[in-house]
A and B are shown apart, each in its own frame.
Chain A
Amino acid sequence: MGDTGSDLLYDRSARTRFRLGFDRAIGWLLPLLFLVAILPILDMVYYVSIQALPHLTVQVLTTTSPYQIDALRVPIVSTLYMMTLATALAVVFGLFGGVATAEILPERLAGHVRTSANLLAGTPSVAFGYFGYFAFVIAFGWGLSFIAGALTLAFFMTPYIFRTADLAFTSVPRHIREAALGSGASPSQYIVRVATPIAFPQILTGVFLAMAIGVGETAPIWLTTTPGVLVPQNWTAPVTVLTELIWENFASPAGSGLQTLAWQAAFLLLVVVVALNIVVRLFAWRYQKRLEGLYQ
C-alpha cells in the first residue's frame, strides 16, 4: 500500500496540507495502537517470570509432597496424562470425521457437518464442561473422574482437529487425486496411501494447535473432575492439572507459597503454549513451501 502520491506534495492549499498532515499524523498514531496489544503480553511474560522463576528449582518441579506446596510434579504429570489421552481421543474423532467429511460424505451433508464443527469450535468451554458433566459424570455414571475430564477435553479439541483434517484433505491438489483414482486406486487406497502423506503436515500442525488450546483450558476439566493430590492412578481417579492449580490458588495471600505455585504453573503453561504456537507457525511456513512445490 504505497505512500501518498507526490502530486499532492506540490499542492500548497490549506486543505491539502490538512489532509496530508492528518494522514501523516494517523500514520504515527495507529501503529502506536500495536502497543496496546504488545505491552500486555510483555507485561504478562515479565510478571510471570518475575514471580515464578526465583523459586522455580528443579526440586520444585520434581518432588511430590502431601499437599501441593512447593511441588509441581504431580500437576505437571497429571497435565501430561490428561493431554495425552485427550489429544489421542481428539485425533481419532477429528481425523475420522475430517476424512469422512472431505472424502466420503455427500456434499450437502458435509456442509452441515462442517457448519456444526465450526459452531462447536466457537462454543465456550464451559458449555463443554456442562455437557461433559451430564454426559460422562452422570449419565455414564463415572462420577467426577479423570476419564470424564479427558473425554470432555477431547470433545472440546475435536472440532479444531476436524477442521484441520477436513481442510487438509480437501486441499490435496486435484490432479494428484485424479491421477490416483484414474490409475485404478480405490477411494480407500487413495486416502490411505496418497492423500494422507500429503495432508499429514497440515494435520500435524492442527494437532499441535489443538494441544495448545487444550492445555490452557480450565473449565471442561474443572467441571468434570475432582481435584486430587496424586497423579491419576486409574480411570476414575481425582486429578488436578496446571490450569486448575492456577484457578485454585491465584487469590491466595501473596506471602504463602500457594500463590507462587500458581505463578509457576502459569509460567510453565506460557512456555508450553508459546512453544507450541511457534511450532505451529514453523510448520505452517514450511508446509506452504512444500505445497508450492506440488503445483508443477
Chain B
Amino acid sequence: MFGVLVYACKLTLLPDFFSMQWDPPANQWGVGVFVAGSFITAVPALILSMAIGLGIAIASTTYLPRFVSRLLDPFVDLLAGIPSVVYGIWAFIVVGPVLGKVINPWVFAHFHTVPGFGAPEGSELGTGLPLALIVLTLMALPITTLLIRDALRSVPKDLWESGLALGATRWEVTRRVAIPYSLRGIVSAAFLGFGRAFGETVAVAMVIGSIPALPDNAYAPTYTIAAAMFQLLDSSFSDHQFLVVLTEMALVLMVITLVVNLVGRRLISNLTHFDVPGL
C-alpha cells in the first residue's frame, strides 16, 4: 500500500519541474485561488458539522431513550453512504433554486449592511459558496457525529453517574465531565471531518459555480482544489503546463489530506472501530 503512495508521488513529480507558484489570482496559474477556495468551503462546513454533530451525538447518548437513538443513528450513518453525485444532483436541482430565489434575496434584503453580504452575485440557480457549504456540512456530518458519539459513549459509566449523583443536571455532566473526557475523540472528529470536507470533489464541483476567483461576498461562486482537479483534467490534455499545474494541485491536496488524516488518526489510535463508508 505504501508503495502505491510513493509510486503516485514519483509519477507526479516527474512532469513537475516547476516549483510551486503561490501567485495571486491575477496570474494565470495561481493555485492560491483554489487552495483558498478549498479552505473557505471546508472550514465553515467543518464548524457547522461539528456543532450539529456534537448536538446530535449528545442527544443520542444522553437525552434520547435507547430505542429512539438506536433507530435514528443509522439514518445519520446512511448520510455517509450516499454517493457524492447523488448529493450533487439533489443539491443542484432541489436546494439550489430555493437558495437562489428565496434565501439569498432574503438574506441580502435583511443583512446587506453587514460587510460580506453585499450584492448577490449568485445566479438564480443558487450555485456558489452557500450551496457548497450546505453540501459539505451534510457530507462531513456523519463522520463528526459518529466519532463524537463513540467518544462520548466511551466515558465510563461511573463517571457519569457520580456526576448525576452529585446533583448535576444531564447537561452539566455532559459539559463538565463527558466532553472534557472525550476531547481527544472530538478533536479527532474535527480533523477527519475536515479531511472529508476538504477532499470532497464531485458534489462540490456540481454546485460551486466553478469560477476560479475568490468569492467577493457570501453568495459568490468559487472553486476548490478537488473540484478544479476533477473538472479541468479533460481540458488540460493539450496544454502540458496546464497538466503540470493540475498535478501540483493534486500533490497539494494529497499532502494536506495526508497530514490531516495522520493527525486525526493518531488521536484515536486506541479505538479500532469499524467505521463508516467515506471515512
> Which A residues contact B (CB, under 8 angstroms)?
1-5, 7-8, 19-20, 22-23, 26-27, 29-31, 33-34, 36-38, 40-41, 43-44, 47-48, 51, 97, 112-113, 115-127, 129-131, 133-135, 139, 155, 158-160, 162, 164, 167, 209, 212-213, 215-219, 222-223, 243, 246-247, 250-251, 254, 259, 262-263, 266, 269-270, 273-274, 276-277, 281, 284
Contacts and interface: CB of A to CB of B under 8 A. Distances in A.
Interface in B44-69: 52, 55-56, 58-64, 68
Contacts of A222: 230
Given A23-B171, A127-B8, A162-B1, A251 B92 contact: yes
Contact of B1 (A159, A266, A276, A281): A159
B123 interface: no
Contacts of B226: 124, 126
B108 interface: no
Nearest to A27: B63
B217 interface: no
Among B1, B4, B81, B277, find the residue whose CB has the most chain A CB atoms closer than 10 A. Answer: B1
A124 B257 contact: yes
B274 interface: yes
Interface string B121-152: 00000000000000000100110010000000
Contacts of B63: 1, 26-27, 30-31
Interface stretch (B18-26, B28-36, B160-168, B181-189): B160-168
Q: Chain B contact residues (Cβ within 8 angstroms of A): what range?
A: 35 or more
Interface of A, helix, strand, loop or mixed by DSSP? helix
Given A37-B76, A213-B277, A116 B201 contact: no
A257 B65 CA distance: 47
A137 B162 CA distance: 62
B92 to A, nearest CB: 6
Contacts of B77: 277
A219 B277 contact: no
A4 B170 contact: yes
Interface of B: 1-2, 4-5, 7-8, 11-12, 52, 55-56, 58-64, 68, 72, 74-79, 81-90, 92-94, 138, 141-142, 145, 160-161, 164-165, 167-172, 192, 195-196, 198-202, 206, 226, 229-230, 233, 246-247, 250, 253-254, 257-258, 261-262, 265, 272, 274, 277-279
A277 B4 contact: no
B248 to A, nearest CB: 11
Taking chain B's interface residues, is the majority helix, strand, or loop, or is none over half, making it mixed? helix
B257 A123 contact: yes
B201 A19 contact: no
Contacts of A31: 59, 63-64, 68
A122 B192 contact: yes
Given A44-B82, A127-B257, A130-B12, A37 B230 contact: no
**Residue from B5, B72, B230, B265 having most chain A Cβ neighbours under 10 A:** B230
A2 B161 contact: yes
Contacts of A276: 81
B202 A247 contact: yes
